[in-house]
Structure formats: structure tokens, C-alpha cells
């Protein structure tokens, strides 16, 4: 949602005569080709390879872009569309990129053709840092998948790809100085330096900075396969280890000699001004078990492992600064000994961010934006970097809150399903970070999200299509229509409940992710829309026959679904665990239909029936096979209503 929108009258037709003219530099030339390609994909109209036509959209800007995109570089633009043409202006060509994406979002099909409604838009971002973090360590994500996600980010005007390149389970960026980082700890799945440069250029072309993260001193087991001398405890190390998380030894001078060379190499490879050193969740057990490290702490008067980490970070910060970079890290790096130039990324929340800002530190919010926790878009959307404690900051402190970053940790994603874990929910976070603070309506957000989600498919994202393939895999050569009905109304368990399933040991990162929980969308549109229907129907005194018909149609489909689906579930080892879910769906729907009948006849059901059905609801709310049946709550509402509306 742009900062300012004024609707005009009429519309600009988009047909084969459409063309763009710009006074542009070379990079914008390519962006306009991409814009035309995208417009072609959306409409099916070929615009290229045809003779020149009168320009429909004219583009003007005053300055080209920075060679290395800067934090806070002007992204504003103005777009005016009338029934005879469109004009896009911006102070910089970066703003033009943003405005072209807005134009693409405005294209709609009408009874007379494709068109953009007449409109005047003045737009600029609320926050300068609008990022998506992708973990490529736990599961490797190839560059083609990253690139299409960058296309998605550009479509929703995000501007930072935070690349979580190393963690316990894999080291993914080639170092020529320390080749064993990838030869021994990537399973041959890593990015070469040429590929990294190519990817950074790709992102830059789309107005996106790439900030690398090398997590240290914790989350660093992968470093030790090739370089065990960096570790605080004896090896040998393997990627599959569970148990104590190893940490880099911050007491040896050789560690800093290594990091001097490594960071100098990476600082050259990654041109962005920011360099992320991780710093989260350091497990002190290895430090505590090492007498030399304990002696070092004592000798330097350090009281805690936090003090030791702060010492490490001070040393690290000097190396990063020597390479002309700003150091960035997670909450845990915050320590008064560090200079105010560092940036804190908060997974802890606005309180932590506000506390940092009061001490003069810049910060980026990630708390509330963890896509891997399977929250609905509305819940992410409600999280504002400036709310809570941050709302009490003074103006100067407020400016230190740079924005936010959604996070896609990769314990439970593969290249096959990562798109559906990121999209479309990430677009709601992108809007939170771009649009004015007072744009908070959830219903209109979901309406926009639906359109954005459709448009993202034209970029090659597979957030919707991958599920079809995964359902086919589970179903063999049987029809997936009944399976799709079940998949439409379930969601994976939330927060860290899936991690809890593996309490008996570490996650097996080589295990197949081919279950129903891996295929379904994190958020069920079907269940959300059904709940809204039931809510409106019940609140309206159960008097709306159209709403009732809608509800009844869904309930009938679901009631009859288990009979259709059951034979398939038995035939497939991957689906057997979903038998209970399917039975519950049909049983709940039958209860809902009985409740509707009872409301129709104005005959409240017997108390015993109600008690029994509510017990069924409670049982159906429990996760099965890692899945939640999302229509349990609205069904409870219908059953309750049947006892009162009569």
C-alpha cells in the first residue's frame, strides 16, 4: 500500500501498443526489459520484438544509483496514470524500480481489456531496512531458488537479502584462503565466489542489498571440520553431531589471525557496507569445559561467558571496521564496550531493540517475523518495529530503528517447499515495513495479499504449485482431489512444536521432507475464510441464507471427504498418519451440519449432544501428524450457536 493514493477516473488500456520510454542508464534499460517481460507474463501480450509504438509509460529520474546500494538511498517515486498515459518520476533510478513494481501491481483484467486504473501515487518507504533472511546452512538452497525469491522481494519492495551462510550444519560460501570450510563442511553444496558475485549483481539489479552472515562464535560446528584448531573443545567434528553446540575459541591469538584473513577475503567478496557476524545462542558448555579458556577468563577478570563473548566481539569489530564494514549481530552482541556504530538484529523483541536504541545502537527487528514459526500473516502484520517499548523513544532514538527482517530458518524446508514457507506471508511483513504505520486493516491486507500471491506465481515462485506436485507424490497415480480438500484446511503446528517432536535426538538434516506437514501451506485460506463466514453468520443471528448455503456447501464437502479419501490414505505410507485428521474433518463437518439443521428448525440440541460434540472438537484441536485442523474453532462456534439461536 503506497504512502499516498488518489484514485482518478477512467483507466489506461494495456494492449499490444503499450511501450515504455525512459531517459536511462544501462541498468535501468535491463530493468525495463524485465518489466516488459513481467507485464508480458501477466497479460500474455508480447511487447518485445515488435515495431516501435508511441510511448504509454514515460520514466524520468534525476540521478543514477549508487554502485553499491546504500542504506537509506532514496527509494521514493511518483506515479501518475490517466486514461491516455502514465508517468513515473523519481529522484533516483532506485525509486523507478519501486514505481515499476507498483505499476505491475495495478494491472487488472476488465470487461474491455487489460488496464491500469487512473491514479496518482506518491510513495516512499517507512523504514530504510526491509529484509528477508534466508538460512542456507541447515538445508542448502540453490541459486535459482534464491533468485526467484529475490524477484519476489523486489515485487514487494524489500531491499535486503540477509544470507545466513554458515551454521552448525553447513558452510556455504567458498573461501579461497580457507577452502576446507566448504570442501569438508558443505556436502559439495556451496556457492562459488563467481556464483556469489553473480548473485549479488542479480540482487543489485533489483534494488536489493546482500548482507552476508557468518555466525560466530556459536553455531559454528561447520568451521571445525576443516579447521578444528578454531574450536574450544577436542574434535573430531561432523555435521551430524547433536549434543553440545561447539564454539570458536576466543582466547587463542591464532583464532584472530584466521578471522583477519577470512573477513578480509569476505569483505572484498561482499560489497555491502554491513557485515553480519551472528553472535546468537552461544552455548558456554565447551568454554566451561576447557581449563585454558577458564584460566584466560580469570586472568582477564571476566566474570561470565557473556564477558568472554564481548571480548571476542570487540576483537571482531576491529577486524570488521578495518575492512570498512559496519558490524551487525543478533541481540547477544549488545555490550556497552562495543562502539555505537554496530547494528543489533533483535530476535528478542521491541523491548530489546528500544533498550539498544536508548544506548545509541541502531537496530533491526526480527522478533515477530520468523516465517518458520508458521504464524498466520495477520499475526506477523500486527508486529510493528515502533510499537511497545519502541513507541516511547524520542525522535533521535526512533531513527535508530532501521526497520525489520523476516527470517526463514531452514530446519524444515528444502528447495522444493521453501517458497511456500516464505510466500505470500512475507508480503505482509514487507508491507508492514514499507507502508505507513496506520495501514493496519487485516481484511484489506488479506485482499491485497491474495492479488500479490497470484502475481508472484508469474515470477516463477512455486509457493502454490509445489503443493500439487507434493500431493501427487504422496498419492501415487490416484486422484488428489480429496487429498487437496484435506490439505486445504490444515496447517503445520506453530512455534517450535515441530522441533519438540524430535526431542529424542538432533534433527536429521538428511531425512526426506515429503510428508503432508511439508506440503501444506503455513496458513489455510480456506479455513480463515470459513471462520469469517461462520463468525458473520452467528453474529448476524443466523439469519443470512446465503451465508448459510456457503457454510453448508463446505460442510457437505468435508463430511463426505473421508469416505473418498480413506482408501488412498491406506495405500500410501506417507499418508497413513493423516487418517485421524481426515476422520476428524468429516466428523466435525457432520456435527456442524447437525448444528445448522438445529438452528434451521429452531430446535436447540440436547445438552448431551452438545457436550459430546464439544468433546469431539477438543479432541480434533490436538495436532496429529504435526498438523492442526483449522476448522475446529469455527465448528465449536456453530455448535455453541445451535444451543443459543432458536
Binding residues (CB under 8 A) for a second copy: these are 16, 41-46, 48-50, 108-113, 187-189, 414, 416, 450-451, 454, 457-458, 465, 468-470, 472-477, 510-514, 518, 570-574, 576
Q: How far is CA 201 from CA 158, 187, 573, in A?
A: 16, 26, 44
Q: How far is the CB of 44 from a second copy (least distance, A)?
A: 3
Do residues 316 and 216 lie in contact, with contact meaning Cβ atoms separated by under 8 Å?
yes
Q: How far is the CB of 571 from a second copy (least distance, A)?
A: 6
3-state secondary structure 97-146: HHHHHHHHHHCEEECCEEEEEEEEEEECCCCCEEEEEEECCCCCCCHHHH
Neighbours of 600 (CB within 10 A): 14
Nearest residue (CB) to a second copy, 51 versus 336? 51
Do residues 635 and 587 lie in contact, with contact meaning Cβ atoms separated by under 8 Å?
no
Nearest residue (CB) to a second copy, 295 versus 454? 454
Q: How far is it, in rounded angstroms, from Cα 631 to Cα 559?
A: 12
Nearest residue (CB) to a second copy, 397 versus 478? 478
Alpha helices in 435-501 (DSSP H): 442-457, 465-475, 481-487, 497-500
Q: How far is the CB of 166 from a second copy (least distance, A)?
A: 17
Q: How far is the CB of 476 from a second copy (least distance, A)?
A: 4
Q: How far is the CB of 276 from a second copy (least distance, A)?
A: 26
Do residues 56 and 18 lie in contact, with contact meaning Cβ atoms separated by under 8 Å?
yes
Q: What one-character DSSP code corresponds to residue 436?
A: -
Nearest residue (CB) to a second copy, 155 versus 334? 155
332 tagged catalytic:
no
Nearest residue (CB) to a second copy, 5 versus 451? 451
Q: How far is it, in rounded angstroms, from Cα 74 to Cα 93?
A: 9
Q: How far is it, in rounded angstroms, from Cα 330 to Cα 215?
A: 10
Q: How far is it, in rounded angstroms, from Cα 574 to Cα 482?
A: 15
Length of the chain: 646
Is 392 strand, coil or helix? helix
Q: How far is the CB of 182 from a second copy (least distance, A)?
A: 13
| Residues 6+ away with beta carbon under 8 Å from 399 | none
Nearest residue (CB) to a second copy, 4 versus 238? 238
Q: How far is the CB of 527 from a second copy (least distance, A)?
A: 16
DSSP secondary structure of 40-86: HHHH----TTS-----SEEEEEEE---SSPPTT----EEEEEETTEE
Q: How far is it, in rounded angstroms, from Cα 581 to Cα 515?
A: 14
Which one from 195, 281, 411, 579 is the annotated catalytic residue? 281
Q: Which residues are catalytic?
A: 281
Amino acid at each position: 500500500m503506497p504512502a499516498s493514493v488518489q484514485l482518478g477516473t477512467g483507466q489506461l488500456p494495456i494492449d499490444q501498443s503499450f511501450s515504455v520510454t525512459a531517459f536511462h542508464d544501462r541498468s535501468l534499460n535491463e530493468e525495463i526489459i524485465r518489466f516488459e517481460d513481467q507485464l508480458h507474463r501477466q497479460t500474455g501480450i508480447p511487447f518485445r520484438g515488435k515495431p516501435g509504438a508511441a510511448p504509454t509509460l514515460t520514466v524520468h529520474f534525476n540521478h543514477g544509483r549508487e554502485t553499491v546500494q546504500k542504506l537509506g538511498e532514496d527509494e521514493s517515486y511518483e506515479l501518475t496514470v490517466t486514461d491516455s498515459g502514465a508517468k513515473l518520476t523519481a529522484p533516483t533510478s532506485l525509486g523507478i524500480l519501486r514505481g515499476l513494481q507498483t505499476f505491475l501491481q495495478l494491472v487488472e483484467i476488465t470487461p474491455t481489456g487489460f488496464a491500469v486504473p487512473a491514479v496518482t501515487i506518491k510513495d516512499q518507504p517507512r523504514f530504510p531496512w526491509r529484509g528477508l533472511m534466508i538460512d542456507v546452512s541447515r538445508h542448502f538452497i540453490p541459486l535459482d531458488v534464491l533468485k526467484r525469491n529475490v524477484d519476489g522481494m523486489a515485487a514487494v519492495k524489500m531491499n535486503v537479502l540477509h544470507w545466513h551462510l554458515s551454521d552448525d550444519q553447513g558452510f556455504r560460501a567458498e573461501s579461497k584462503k580457507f577452502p576446507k570450510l566448504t570442501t569438508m563442511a558443505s556436502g559439495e553444496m556451496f556457492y562459488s565466489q563467481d556464483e556469489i558475485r553473480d548473485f549479488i549483481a542479480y540482487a543489485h539489479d533489483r534494488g536489493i542489498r546482500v548482507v552476508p552472515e557468518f555466525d560466530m562464535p556459536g553455531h559454528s560446528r561447520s568451521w571445525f571440520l576443516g579447521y578444528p584448531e578454531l574450536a574450544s573443545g577436542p574434535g573430531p567434528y561432523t555435521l551430524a553431531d547433536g549434543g553440545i553446540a561447539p564454539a570458536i575459541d576466543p582466547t587463542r591469538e591464532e583464532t584472530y589471525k584466521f578471522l583477519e584473513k577470512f573477513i578480509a577475503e569476505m569483505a572484498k567478496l561482499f560489497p555491502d557496507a554491513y557485515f553480519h557476524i551472528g553472535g546468537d545462542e552461544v552455548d558456554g558448555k565447551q568454554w566451561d569445559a576447557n581449563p585454558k579458556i577458564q584460566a584466560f577468563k580469570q586472568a582477564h577478570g571476566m566474570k561470565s561467558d557473556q564477558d568472554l563473548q564481548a571480548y571476542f566481539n570487540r576483537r571482531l569489530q576491529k577486524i570488521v571496521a578495518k575492512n570498512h564494514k559496519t558490524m551487525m549481530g543478533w541481540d547477544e552482541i549488545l555490550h556497552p564496550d562495543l562502539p555505537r556504530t554496530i547494528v543489533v538484529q533483535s530476535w528478542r523483541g521491541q523491548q530489546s531493540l528500544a533498550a539498544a536504541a536508548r544506548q545509541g545502537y541502531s537496530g533491526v527487528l526480527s522478533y515477530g517475523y520468523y516465517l518458520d514459526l508458521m504464524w498466520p500473516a495477520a499475526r506477523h502484520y500486527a508486529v510493528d518495529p515502533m510499537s511497545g517499548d519502541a513507541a516511547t523513544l524520542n525522535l533521535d532514538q526512533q531513527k535508530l530503528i532501521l526497520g525489520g527482517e523476516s527470517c526463514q530458518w531452514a530446519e524444515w524446508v528444502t528447495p522444493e517447499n521453501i517458497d511456500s514457507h516464505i510466500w505470500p506471508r512475507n508480503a505482509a511483513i514487507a508491507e508492514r515495513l514499507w507502508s505507513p504505520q496506520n495501514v493496519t486493516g487485516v481484511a484489506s491486507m488479506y485482499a491485497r495479499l491474495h492479488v500479490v500471491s497470484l502475481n508472484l506465481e508469474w515470477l516463477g515462485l512455486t509457493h502454490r504449485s509445489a503443493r500439487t506436485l507434493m500431493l501427487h507424490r504422496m498419492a501415487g497415480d490416484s486422484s488428489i482431489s480429496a487429498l487437496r480438500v484435506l490439505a486445504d484446511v490444515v496447517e503445520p503446528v506453530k512455534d517450535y512444536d515441530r522441533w519438540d517432536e524430535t526431542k529424542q535426538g538432533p534433527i536429521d538434516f538428511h531425512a526426506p521432507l515429503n510428508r503432508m506437514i511439508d506440503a501444506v501451506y503455513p496458513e489455510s485460506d480456506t479455513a480463515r475464510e470459513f471462520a469469517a463466514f461462520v463468525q458473520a453468520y452467528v453474529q448476524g443471528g443466523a439469519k443470512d441464507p446465503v451465508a448459510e448455503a456457503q457454510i453448508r456447501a463446505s460442510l457437505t464437502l468435508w463430511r463426505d471427504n473421508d469416505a473418498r479419501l480413506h482408501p488412498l490414505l491406506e495405500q500410501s505410507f506417507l499418508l497413513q498418519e493423516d487418517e485421524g485428521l481426515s476422520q476428524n474433518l468429516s466428523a466435525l463437518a457432520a456435527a456442524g451440519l447437525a448444528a445448522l439443521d438445529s438452528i434451521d428448525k429452531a430446535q436447540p440440541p440436547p445438552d448431551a449432544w452438545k457436550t459430546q460434540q464439544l468433546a469431539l472438537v477438543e479432541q480434533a484441536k490436538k495436532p496429529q501428524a504435526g498438523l492442526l485442523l483449522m476448522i475446529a474453532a469455527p465448528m465449536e462456534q456453530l455448535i455453541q450457536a445451535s444451543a443459543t439461536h432458536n
